Amino acid sequence: MAQPAGSIPLCPHKGCAFKCCNFKQMVHILLYPGEIDEARAQGRSLSHLEIVDGDYHGGVRVKCRAHDTSTCDNGYKPLDCVSYPFFPELASSQNGNSSNPTVTLCKGSSCPIQGHEIPQHEGYVRDRWQELIQRKPEVATRLHWFDFTSTDDFDSESYDRY
Ligand code: SF4
Ligand code: SF4
């Protein structure tokens, strides 16, 4: 059977007990502006996602309450989760705003995988975010905010540019 989008075949071999879902359940998942409405419009279940801030820098901050993390309780898997262990940044933010920003990635320190071990996932995540900022400029605005503040108030994980 085909792996769902965002699956990393290496994960079961890293001995991490799929802990990234635990981080996201304890800290948060950040949905990009409009993501929750798009998921609703697709008829996807959001019952495992508890909204803790409905306007967090233009997006929505949620906590995951899924019982079966392997399927997200058969509900919607946010792009933040699909992207892990990568997170998007905008290359143009280092030189001011650009009308044609380019997505670069950073990698979360809590995942034992090395970024170079998962080039297919890296390319997939980069392409998803690049397509998204072209379709929704407000997502680029939000990513600029995250670039300028190296982290947010809730997340203790560190991120290395990749
Ligand atoms: S992404 Fe990283 S932390 Fe999450 S299951 Fe895979 S190896 Fe583990
Ligand atoms: S939404 Fe799915 S991938 Fe994300 S933390 Fe919950 S169970 Fe894990």
Is residue 40 within 6 Å of ligand 1 at its C-beta?
no
Distance CA 52, CA 159 (A): 23
Place of tokens 């982290």: 151
Q: Which of 7, 13, 84 to mutate to test the pocket of ligand 1 (most atoms within 8 A of CB)?
A: 84
Residue 145: per-residue pLDDT:
79
Range of the domain at 107: 16-161
Q: Could you tell me if residue 8 is inside a domain?
A: no
Q: Could you tell me if residue 156 is inside a domain?
A: yes
Q: Could you tell me if residue 10 is inside a domain?
A: no
pLDDT tens track of the chain, all 162 residues? Answer: 456 667 899 999 999 888 889 876 778 899 999 999 999 999 999 999 999 999 988 899 999 999 999 899 999 999 999 999 999 998 754 444 556 789 999 999 889 999 999 999 999 999 999 999 999 999 998 888 776 555 566 777 777 777
Is residue 66 within 6 Å of ligand 1 at its C-beta?
no
Q: Could you tell me if residue 32 is inside a domain?
A: yes
Q: Could you tell me if residue 5 is inside a domain?
A: no
Q: Could you tell me if residue 11 is inside a domain?
A: no
Q: Could you tell me if residue 6 is inside a domain?
A: no
Distance CA 116, CA 152 (A): 26
Q: Could you tell me if residue 7 is inside a domain?
A: no
Residue 59: per-residue pLDDT:
92
Ligand sitting nearest the alpha carbon of 10? 1
Report how many domains make up the chain: 1
Q: Give the residue, by CA position, lying nearest to ligand 1 atom 6.
A: 11
